[in-house]
Chains A and B, each alone.
Chain A
Amino acid sequence: MTNLAERDLTQPSRRGFLKGAAAAAATLVAPGIFLYRTGQAATSLSSEARWGLLIDTNVLSEADVDACVSACQREHGWRAEPGSKTDAQWIRKVKLTDQETGHQKFLPMMCLHCESPPCVDVCPTGASFKRADGIVLVNKHICIGCRYCMMACPYKARSFIHETLKDQLPVAPRGKGTVESCTLCVHRVDRDGANAVPACAEAVNRGERKAIVFGDLNDPQSEISQRLQELGGKRLRADMGLNPGVRYQGL
């Protein structure tokens, strides 16, 4: 019965192997548990708040809008060469000229963080999602790069990454072959809550009357709600009933 003898000989080493494996598993799993917990912290968001932006085009100058774009680029590490059709643009400067009066305005356009986002509806894998607090994001891990969300977005808010990227910033992981858009500076929101100031707002809010107000649309006492009560705010493509979280004044 050589087999038995062999088995006896192997017992201690198998036990040793199991111990080793358990230790290895523990080392492997522990960070996983940590990640899971932080993941839980990130997902256990409350729907009490609905974050939004109020953009007052009466206060914003063309230089202000340029400053918004530059600030977003610095914050998230994206660049768009002028004339490029493929570079991503999380926020862009739009010039409006009234067809009758010739009156001109400049405003920043980005993801409007809709209450009923078409990009989330059409996404086959659920990579496009809306957080409980109203911020619309792309889960970079399950985006397959089909670009259907870009077809569905009424605001042209999304970009596809057409080439390999370098020098990415930790707050804005990006990857070739996936879709991305404005995150409403979610890393600041998660850190500072109602006191958060997105990079675009930070770049232009100098005087008493802020040009871009971030805040909780659900809280009637918040600055954004007060300003909207005072002068109202326009929802772009209101006919579609998407109820964007980004509103405009002065249009």
Chain B
Amino acid sequence: MPAATQYSEIKTHSSSYWALLVLLAAGVLIGVAGAHHMDVEGHHVSGMNNQIVWGLPHVFAIFLIVAASGALNIASLASVFAKQAYKPLARFSAILSVALLVGGLAILLLDLGRPDRLIVAMTYYNFKSIFAWNIILYSGFVVIVLAYLWLMMERRMQRWSKPAGLLAFVWRLVLTTGTGSIFGFLVARESYDTALLAPMFIIMSFAFGLATLILLLMLSFSLDRRELDVSHLLRLRRLLGIFTASVFYFVVVFHLTKLYGTQNHGFEAFILMDGGIYTSLFWIAQIGLGNLLPLALIYAPSLQQSSNSLVLACLLVIAGAFAQLYIIIVGGQAYPLNIFPGYVVESGFYDGVVGEYAPSLWEFMLGFGGLTAALLIALLVLRVLPIMPTALGAEGK
């Protein structure tokens, strides 16, 4: 029987650790400043408008929310699927998922036209709205995962951590189904309106969450000079490869399905051929840099032992994630609604033309602030709670 894993707080006092914390805190302040400016001045200081109503803040927010549910996978593999090899990282997986979700929700909240009406959002529910369900799913996720984390950490309660892990796993699947359905349920737009978006968001969460987890794992281990054997990285590398390939598969099926119906040819031509920035983002950033290149890095036989190649693969997966979400969220709105088939449509309200959107600095600040808030929360919790294993040594020793 292997020795029980020892956990401890991050203890480093290295200047790089403190500098990182200061930078992240500055990022949060920048985010607050951006949100405050947008709140006082109104959304006209953002690049968002009456055609592109959701923009860069939503790309950041949805990335964090999707990555949050995916970050929990490592804990689920240990608790639900009894993969003992992942158990030492279960606590980290849980706390990271909560931190990412909080960062994403902060962006969504602060981007509202009336963020002061949070209490309204929490007390008035329209249960036909997937958005309303998401408010419950997100709050529930935080509570369930924190309880799950406590049950894992409290030795007397550990037998309850398995059912709690199962509940958290099911909850996170429902949650990401809800996030994908925000778009999947939009029947009016050709760019959305498909049940495929729900499972596609789930598989996206697997890849985005794992890439984020690997990066933060390597970062915190290196900051605290803990031993991280390559065998552990190899296992995570293979998992990331499977998840990234699955995202690619879903993207292919999504576009093939849309391409089959003649009524969607205009939209598909827009994304795949003549959509300008969206087409470039799709082929270069999402497919090339976000899917194919990381797959090559992950599976190249000569790079199997290289942790640098894994870091690069994770960064590329995350960059591809931002491109993919930008295309889904902004590109999906930019393509004009087809209200009058058979007619060329013109109006002073941008009917019949591709919506224009240029993100402003303020909304970038808000999105960036949410991202840094998530990382700051994660790094601070690692300092005060015994989340991280003291070492992940070579297996079989």
Please list the residues of chain A having a beta carbon within 8 angstroms of any beta carbon in chain B. Answer: 80, 82, 85-89, 92-100, 109, 118, 120-127, 142-148, 150-156, 158-164, 176-179, 236-237, 240, 251
Contacts and interface: CB of A to CB of B under 8 A. Distances in A.
Nearest to B183: A151
B9 interface: no
Contacts of A158: 50
A126 B42 contact: no
B187 A240 contact: yes
A65 to B, nearest CB: 10
B384 interface: no
Interface string B96-131: 000000000000000011110110110011101111
Given A118-B187, A178-B113, A147 B42 contact: no
B200 to A, nearest CB: 18
B356 interface: yes
Contacts of A164: 42
B188 A154 contact: yes
A75 B88 CA distance: 66
| Interface size classification for chain B | 35 or more
Contacts of A88: 50
B264 interface: no
B188 A153 contact: yes
A161 B351 contact: no
B26 interface: no
Contacts of A151: 53-54, 186, 189, 333
B348 interface: yes
Contact of A145 (B114, B135, B342, B345): B114
Given A150-B53, A156-B337, A126 B346 contact: no
Given A85-B356, A86-B44, A124-B131, A144 B345 contact: no
B132 interface: yes
A237 B339 contact: yes
Contact of B129 (A96, A123, A160): A123
A175 to B, nearest CB: 8
B340 interface: yes
Contacts of A160: 43, 50, 53, 113
17 contacts: A89-B50, A92-B347, A96-B340, A99-B343, A124-B129, A125-B120, A126-B125, A143-B114, A144-B113, A144-B117, A144-B120, A144-B121, A160-B43, A162-B43, A176-B42, A237-B188, A237-B339
